[in-house]
């Protein structure tokens, strides 16, 4: 009997729109490397089962294996306290938001911060329940950046609003992960079926021309400076 059941296959299409030219893409230009998958975070680096082409890589000094070049994003928390708080404002490097209701949603707080001239749309993410506490992560143009800690001015009763920096932005990794060694030239499949591999092979792009804005992950100035043979454009 002929099997006519439906079957399907997933095909991955290489995406290298971050390349700004053919220089550095020829045979022998991209040295082979081995990636230590345990150093990558699934929901960040390979949510679809593979690490995308263009991922900045660094060499672990102790093992000689490669992991993600890592720089932290700034994370600050906003916590309300006291009694009778009705609203508050936030100030970042001399710029102050409009009044934010004490029971504001995370989206409302996000919009207020993004309205600041030194932040802008798409450069912050805010989570938390209405009324807080809120977790503010600086992203986009402010990713990988040491952002000044915000201050708050509360209004109403004896209410307080406390700001704390839980993760300082711009802090690089250690043990070799603080030095960018190159960019992953082709995607690396790390999940096969239900199995996550421990190590996978890859190739390293080390010289040529790159569109920085097309990379799958932000590469800060220090990382760009590590790659002396790569010319970055916007």
Q: What is the mean pLDDT of residues 229-234?
A: 95
The pLDDT of residue 139 is: 87
Contact present, 30 and 229 (Cβ < 8 Å): no
Query: Is pLDDT above 80 for 56?
Result: yes
pLDDT digits (tens, 9 = 90+) for 85-113: 999 999 999 999 999 999 999 999 999 99
Q: What is the mean pLDDT of residues 151-164?
A: 98
Radius of gyration of the chain (CA): 22
pTM of this prediction exceeds 0.85: no
Q: What is the mean pLDDT of residues 148-157?
A: 98
Q: Where are the domains of the chain?
A: 32-70+173-233, 75-167
Q: Distance (Å, rounded) from C-alpha 73 to C-alpha 91?
A: 19
pLDDT digits (tens, 9 = 90+) for 6-22: 544 444 457 899 999 99
Contact present, 227 and 215 (Cβ < 8 Å): no
**CA separation (Å) from 162 to 25, 117, 208?**
51, 23, 47
Q: What is the CATH code of the structural domain delimited by 32-70+173-233?
A: 2.40.300
Contact present, 97 and 89 (Cβ < 8 Å): yes
Peptide bond into 36 cis (omega under 30): no
Q: Distance (Å, rounded) from C-alpha 175 to C-alpha 166?
A: 22
The DSSP bridge pattern shows strands 32-36 and 208-211 to be: unpaired
């Amino acid at each position: 009997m002929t099997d006519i059941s439906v079957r399907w296959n997933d095909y991955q299409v290489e995406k290298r729109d971050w390349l700004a030219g053919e220089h550095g893409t020829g045979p022998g230009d991209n040295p082979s490397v081995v990636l230590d998958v345990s150093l990558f975070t699934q929901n960040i680096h390979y949510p679809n089962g593979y690490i995308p082409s263009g991922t900045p890589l660094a060499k672990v000094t102790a093992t000689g294996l490669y992991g993600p070049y890592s720089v932290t994003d700034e994370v600050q928390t906003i916590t309300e306290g006291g009694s009778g708080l009705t609203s508050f404002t936030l100030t970042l490097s001399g710029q102050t938001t409009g009044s934010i209701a004490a029971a504001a949603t995370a989206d409302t707080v996000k919009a207020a911060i993004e309205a600041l001239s030194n932040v802008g749309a798409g450069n912050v993410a805010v989570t938390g329940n209405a009324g807080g506490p809120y977790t503010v992560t600086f992203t986009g143009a402010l990713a990988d950046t040491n952002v000044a800690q915000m201050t708050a001015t509360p209004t109403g009763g004896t209410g307080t609003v406390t700001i704390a920096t839980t993760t300082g932005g711009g802090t690089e990794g250690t043990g070799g992960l603080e030095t960018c060694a190159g960019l992953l030239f082709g995607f690396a499949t790390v999940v096969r079926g239900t199995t996550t591999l421990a190590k996978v092979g890859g190739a390293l792009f080390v010289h040529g021309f790159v569109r920085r804005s097309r990379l799958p992950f932000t590469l800060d100035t220090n990382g760009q400076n590590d790659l002396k043979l790569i010319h970055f454009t916007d």
